[in-house]
């Protein structure tokens, strides 16, 4: 049962990276979907460097990207939910995710943040999360994985 003051979302875009945090954000989106009956759109971005054209055929990376989307779809289907999958090639992951959320009139964007440290032990937040927090036209939820789950 939904609380009276709980936000109602119509469309949630989730940013899938292929990391262990994907399972967490998919489950979170499913819970939001159950409460608000919102649509879930899973987005995976293949980042291209400036030497490649945006329409470059990056077959091996596209296969890996499809595995990321298939894994998320499997979790959603196992929970009897529905998710639209989107594969995007872009120069910048953060901008691509925010653009996709805006183009789809999403009112929620969920991003996962792996717990990683740089040389010297400083926590690394990357570029996509700050970009989304600054530029997304909708609510942004950032889910950081627990400490100690950093890949070796």
> For the segment 92-146, what is each residue's pLDDT rounded down to a tens digit?
999 999 999 999 999 999 999 988 776 666 777 889 999 999 999 999 999 998 8
Instruction: Domain ranges for the chain, please list them.
Output: 11-121+130-144
Cα–Cα distance between 101 and 95 in angstroms, integer? 10
| Per-residue pLDDT at 120 | 64
Q: Say how far apart CA 117 and CA 135 lie, in whole Å.
A: 25
Higher pLDDT, 43 or 62: 43
Class of 11-121+130-144 in CATH: alpha beta
Average pLDDT, the chain: 87
For residues 51-70, average pLDDT: 73
> pTM for the complete prediction?
0.86
């Amino acid at each position: 049962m939904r609380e009276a003051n709980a936000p109602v979302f119509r469309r949630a875009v989730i940013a899938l990276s292929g990391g262990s945090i994907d399972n967490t954000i998919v489950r979170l989106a499913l819970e939001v979907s159950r409460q608000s009956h919102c649509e879930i759109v899973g987005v995976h971005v293949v980042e291209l460097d400036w030497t490649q054209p945006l329409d470059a055929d990056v077959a091996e990376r596209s296969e890996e990207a499809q595995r990321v989307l298939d894994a998320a779809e499997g979790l959603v289907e196992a929970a009897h939910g529905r998710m639209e999958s989107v594969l995007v090639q872009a120069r910048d992951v953060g901008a691509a995710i925010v653009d996709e959320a805006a183009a789809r009139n999403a009112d929620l964007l969920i991003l996962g943040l792996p717990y990683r440290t740089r040389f010297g032990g400083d926590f690394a937040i990357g570029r996509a999360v700050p970009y989304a927090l600054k530029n997304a036209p909708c609510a942004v939820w950032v889910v950081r994985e627990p400490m100690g789950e950093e890949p070796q």
